[in-house]
Amino acid sequence: MDNLIYLYGIVPENEISAAPLPSFKGLDNEHAAYTISINGINAVVCNLDEAGYKETELEKKTNDPQWLHEKAFHHHEVLLDLNNRYTVIPMKFCTIYENADSLWNKLEPLEQKIAEQLKWLKNKEEWNMKIYCDDEKLRESVAAHNLTIEAKKKEIEEMSPGRQFLEKKRLDQLIDQEALKEKETFSARVHEQLTEMCEDTSVKKNWNKKVTGRNDEMCWNSVYLLSTENVEEYLSEIKSLQDKWTRDGWHLEITGPWPAYHFASLT
């Protein structure tokens, strides 16, 4: 039976030589993982039986939520372990080649780009920061301290009682608008502070409450690539910001280090 090649990621050959790949079972929990050497780089792979993982069969498997969750988690766990041991270019889940030759044909033309990317990623870590906001606390703060709202309140005080009634309703809308501006301003300011100590950054789409499972709203979601020597300063800065702004309803959630999912790409 022919074997397909499942690719987890790419690591430098000299790092594999210094610390051999640990033994573990591949995606199918049967074939052991191993490396394929290609001109100074090593592809971390495992074999898969073609009968069970050809395109039509794989489509059936990925439509099964339980299988998808289990195997995606396996892929992520393998990459986490590789990332703890080596410099790694992580591949997307279910990156599969027909055979070793097709893998070689894909990677060999990218040899220089791979080498450059591995060199750039060495001694760097990816971290994620999400900012959440308590909307009620923010509205209270905006209503009490926002200059635009203060000016509007004074304007309303000078109006007739009938006009005041209408304008107070509009005031609530204005508070919502100013609160939204405050979310954007605060988050962008924090992001700018952190960017100064990072090699690269990327702002991602916010998640809704169904995904986060939280009661407060996510108002920022970004990833940062840091030199390992700057990680301690980065974490300390986030803790300082958290301590300063918690009572006002802000929460900064930091996770990592992760493989460079958002900063390593061969496309």
Structure tokens at 244: 């300063």
The whole-number pLDDT of residue 17 equals 93
pLDDT of residue 83: 96
Q: What is the pLDDT of residue 243?
A: 92
User: What pLDDT does 39 receive?
Assistant: 85
| In the block, residue with structure tokens 């958290």 | 242
Place of tokens 């041991």: 85
Say if residues 129 and 220 touch (Cβ distance below 8 Å).
yes
The DSSP-derived string for 135-178 is HHHHHHHHHHH-HHHHHHHHHHHTS-HHHHHHHHHHHHHHHHHH
- For the chain, the structural domain boundaries read 3-122, 125-258
* pLDDT values of the chain reduced to their tens digit, one per residue, 267 residues: 468 999 999 999 999 999 999 999 999 999 999 999 988 899 999 999 988 888 889 999 999 999 999 999 999 999 999 999 999 999 999 999 999 999 999 999 999 999 999 999 999 999 999 999 988 887 777 666 666 766 666 666 666 665 655 666 676 777 778 788 888 999 999 999 999 999 999 999 999 999 999 988 899 999 999 999 999 999 999 999 999 998 888 999 999 999 999 999 876
Q: Which pLDDT belongs to residue 178?
A: 78
CA–CA separation, 195 and 261 (whole Å): 18
Contact 121, 200 (CB under 8 A): no
Sign, CA dihedral 209-212-214-218, equals: negative
What local confidence, expressed as pLDDT, does residue 167 receive?
63
Instruction: Give residue 110's Cα distance to chain centre.
Output: 25
Q: 173-187 burial, b if ≥16 CB within 10 A, otherwise e?
A: ebbeebbeebbeebb
Tokens of 78: 């393998």
Task: State the pLDDT at residue 98.
Answer: 93
| pLDDT the model gives residue 176 | 75
